[in-house]
A and B are shown apart, each in its own frame.
Chain A
Amino acid sequence: GDSVTQMEGPVTLSEEAFLTINCTYTATGYPSLFWYVQYPGEGLQLLLKATKADDKGSNKGFEATYRKETTSFHLEKGSVQVSDSAVYFCALRNSGNTPLVFGKGTRLSVIA
């Protein structure tokens, strides 16, 4: 079945450091790919998405590019802030009416 593998955390960075969270997937067909973020005590919210190969999703300074050749969707941000501290989930959906499949999440802590 479909699956998502993302780097284990926790990740601790200093403010203004560069962030990369790796995500790779296994799926049949052409899934849509997502990054969700969960702030402490809250539900998940969509951070960005990409629906086809070579698409780049971006939001709030975060970016991720859909790489079909490497089956990857790595999350990057050039300069993290303390307010970016959260858990980040990579996810895929293989068609419109199938459930999202999530990775295990990566906890990011940014220190001032």
Chain B
Amino acid sequence: NAGVTQTPKFRVLKTGQSMTLLCAQDMNHEYMYWYRQDPGMGLRLIHYSVGEGTTAKGEVPDGYNVSRLKKQNFLLGLESAAPSQTSVYFCASTLGDTEAFFGQGTRLTVV
């Protein structure tokens, strides 16, 4: 049972480039989340999804888009990367009120 898998694990982008982060879970969870982790800021919610085909904005959604076309996948897109988006990105999933399972993280650097 793989749990929550994020790809890629590391990436360096140039300002203005685009990329997509993939989160995949094999636990049949309804809810999926994207957070970013920055020093001294804890985890801040970017976007989340309460089911296939639905998405909602979190605390810091600007500059990001998401899609949940399949229940098991939650994609996070950066259309035009900026240095302020340098961060560690975590995906998580839950089934109702159970514990959240996290991926290993994606370390993104925008230069």
In Å, the complex CA distance between A104 and B104 comes to: 19
User: Is B42 in contact with A93, judged by CB distance below 8 angstroms?
Assistant: no
Q: Which residues of A are found within 8 Å of B62, using beta-carbon distances? A: none
Chain A contacts for B74, CB-based, 8 A:
none
Of A97, A99, A100, most B-chain CB atoms within 10 Å: A99
Q: Is the pair B105, A43 in contact by a Cβ cutoff of 8 Å?
A: yes
Instruction: List 15 additional A-B contacts (Cβ < 8 Å) besides A43-B105, A44-B100, A97-B96.
Output: A43-B104, A44-B92, A44-B102, A89-B43, A93-B97, A95-B97, A97-B31, A97-B50, A99-B58, A100-B33, A100-B92, A102-B35, A102-B43, A102-B44, A104-B42
Binding site for A on B (CB under 8 A): 4, 30-31, 33, 35, 40-45, 48, 50, 58, 90, 92, 96-97, 99-100, 102-105
Shortest CB-to-CB span from A43 to chain B, Å, is: 4
Q: Does chain B have a CB within 8 A of A29?
A: no
- Complex contacts, B44 vs chain A, CB 8 Å: 102
Q: Report the nearest A residue to B48, measured CB to CB.
A: A99
Q: Is the CB of B104 within 8 A of A46?
A: no
Q: Which of A73-96 contact B (CB under 8 A)?
A: 89, 93, 95-96
- Contact status B102-A34, CB under 8 Å: no
Determine how close the nearest CB of chain B comes to the CB of A41; give it in whole angstroms: 8
